Amino acid sequence: MKLQHSLRLLFAGALIALMTACATTPSGPAALAGTWTNSFGTVWTINPDGTFHVMATRPKAEIWGNCTVAADTVTIQETRRVGPIPKSCRGPGVYKFSRPDGNTLAFVLVSDKCKPRIQNVTQPWHRK
């Protein structure tokens, strides 16, 4: 009888912990939200609504766009920039992402034709 009561308490505790973790883990673009910087000095602000703004130094560019998130995959699409959008950057870029900790963001290329975007996005990102 005591074993059965102990198992119920253990199960209830595990269920509460699981529900709390699910409720506090952001999903969609909110999982990437924040202002991030990489070793090139690029500053990337990702908003919870899926819009973003990039100030890049290598190559020099100011870019706005949208990102959509499905599980651990993000699709990045430029919508405008200061100056013309290079032909290879007009299409979307697709990357797998991970959050090793609260202050680090990492991307792995899935598919993208935009070399400057690949070069910047695949650098380690740190919360600014």
Chain mean position to CA 109: 13
Average pLDDT over residues 79-103: 93
Average pLDDT over residues 78-89: 91
% of residues, the chain, pLDDT over 90 = 66
Tokens 């999903």 appear where?
27
Give residue 50's pLDDT.
95
Give residue 85's pLDDT.
86
**Residue-averaged pLDDT of the chain:** 84
Domains by residue range for the chain, with CATH: 27-127 (2.40.128.280)
Average pLDDT over residues 69-93: 93
Average pLDDT over residues 31-52: 96
> Rounded to an integer, what distance in angstroms lies between the CA atom of residue 81 and that of residue 101?
31
Average pLDDT over residues 71-97: 94
| DSSP notation for 4-38 | HHHHHHHHHHHHHHHHHHHHHS--GGGGT-EEEE-
- Within 13 A of 14's CA, how many CA atoms are on the CB side? 6
What separation in angstroms does the CA of 76 have from each of 22, 25, 50, 63, 91? 25, 21, 9, 11, 9
CB 57 within 8 A of CB 41: yes
Give residue 23's pLDDT.
38
- pLDDT digit string, tens, across residues 22-37: 434 566 888 999 999 9
